[in-house]
Amino acid sequence: MTIPVSSAAQAYGNVAKLVNQGGDTSASALDGQKGGNGFSDMLAQAVQGVVDGGNNAEKISMDMLNGKADVVDMVTAVSESQLAVETMVSVRDRVISAYEEIMRMPI
């Protein structure tokens, strides 16, 4: 039995695109359901947090290049952004692993 890992990766990519485009990332838009805080809301908020952290690190880096920010602030912002991305990748890997495990379960 072949497990379509690409489906999980594609869903992750779709959420990232929606967040980057400023699209509707509510549970109803991602799940086709109405109301409630679902997994898609949590995922969208996490992805948005990573994007915001990256934007903040980029802004502080540009400020430092222009002489408006301290090196310590820039290193801290970049480190926080790196940690957020590593955490998101870890969560993605766990979600894909859980999906694969579910697909292996006998019906």
Spell out the per-residue pLDDT of the chain, length 107, in tens: 444 555 555 666 666 666 666 555 454 444 444 555 787 888 888 889 999 999 999 999 999 999 898 899 989 999 999 999 999 999 889 989 999 999 999 88
Contacts of 97 (CB under 8 A, 6+ apart): none
Tokens of residue 78, six digits = 């970049």
pTM: 0.58
